[in-house]
Structure 1
Amino acid sequence: MFIRSKFFEDYILNETRATLGRTITETDFVIHAGHTGDFFPHHMDAEWCKTQSFKQRIAHGTLVFSVAIGQTALEINPEAFSKGYDRLRFVKPVHIGDTITTHVTISELADDKKTGFGKVVEHVEVSNQHQQVVLVCDHILLAKRKN
């Protein structure tokens, strides 16, 4: 991880980046359940899941989101900060052994009239090893201007 100043004017519309893959493990399920208190059988009970249409445990949506966004956090930008996430959707289930990759596209650049900062929207798509989209959302950043 390194520090890199990137001002609003440095962002380029439609610029993309992708992360390396990360395989989701049973340990991820257990630790995430412990952190969140979400021990629903969909995530934790392999035998019960065999009786359901999906036949195997499903990763917590918040686990997939956390890992995917963590994959994108490779640098610290002291000139911008996260305002939050919009339109978060869990498109397909993620299972133990699936490998996810996160793709980010700069989808919007605009003025944020309330703050005077520039608004940067990163469209985030997370795919599994079969190139199937499993999660989508928009990450909103506020970035300082050079002037």
Structure 2
Amino acid sequence: MAVKIYYEDFIVDDRRVTTGRTITEADIVLHAGQTGDFYPHHMDAEWCKAQPFKKRIAHGTLIFSVGVGLTAGVINEAAMTYGYERLRFPAPVFINDTITATVTIKSKRDHKRPGYGIVSELVEVYNQQQQLVMVCEHLLLVQKKEQHGADPA
């Protein structure tokens, strides 16, 4: 679904929660093959038994990709990703964990490019026990209404 949500339409502290997605062994194996990251933390169950978590963990980059993907339910033709900041993985994700994402509009500011602003979204990813497993700031470059002939109504 395509919409146009302009800079002025974003409201600080608005929040939305996504549906869930279970991380499978197939996800981990496919991600390892795509990225070349075959570290034993992700691939070697026996090696992991002697490690602090005692079992295989999902790649942080996999959780980032899936977590951000969960937030992409609507195509906003007036915005594009400008970048991500402050990416952290405070807890591991294991095979068969189900993750959901919460997106909160944290701030808005003008951008040096006329007619645009930056909207900062806090993206928090949680496992099925509501434990925070990933957090980052998603920056959106968003068109302003008055610069693009949008109906202000």
TM-score normalised by the chain length of structure 2:
0.93
4+ residue segments displaced more than 3 Å: none
**What amino acid does structure 1 have at the position aligned with 2:27?**
D
Aligned residue number for residue 22 of structure 2: 23
Aligned residue number for residue 110 of structure 1: 109
Q: What runs of 5+ residues in structure 1 fail to find an aligned partner? A: none
**What amino acid does structure 1 have at the position aligned with 2:20?**
G
Aligned residue number for residue 137 of structure 2: 138
Identity of aligned residues (%): 58
> Structure 1: how far apart are the matches of 2:50 and 2:111?
50
RMSD across aligned C-alpha pairs, in angstroms? 0.8
> Structure 1: how far apart are the matches of 2:61 and 2:31?
9
**What amino acid does structure 2 have at the position aligned with 1:24?**
I
1:92-142 C-alpha deviation (Å, 9 max, x unpaired): 000001110000000001111245411100001000001010100000001
1:49-75 C-alpha deviation (Å, 9 max, x unpaired): 012121000110000000000001111
> Structure 2: how far apart are the matches of 1:120 and 1:53?
38
User: SS of 1:107's equivalent?
Assistant: strand
User: SS of 1:85's equivalent?
Assistant: strand
**What amino acid does structure 2 have at the position aligned with 1:106?**
I
Number of paired residues? 146
Structure number with greater Rg is 2
Q: What runs of 5+ residues in structure 2 fail to find an aligned partner? A: 147-153
User: SS of 1:27's equivalent?
Assistant: helix
TM-score normalised by the chain length of structure 1:
0.97
User: SS of 2:37's equivalent?
Assistant: coil
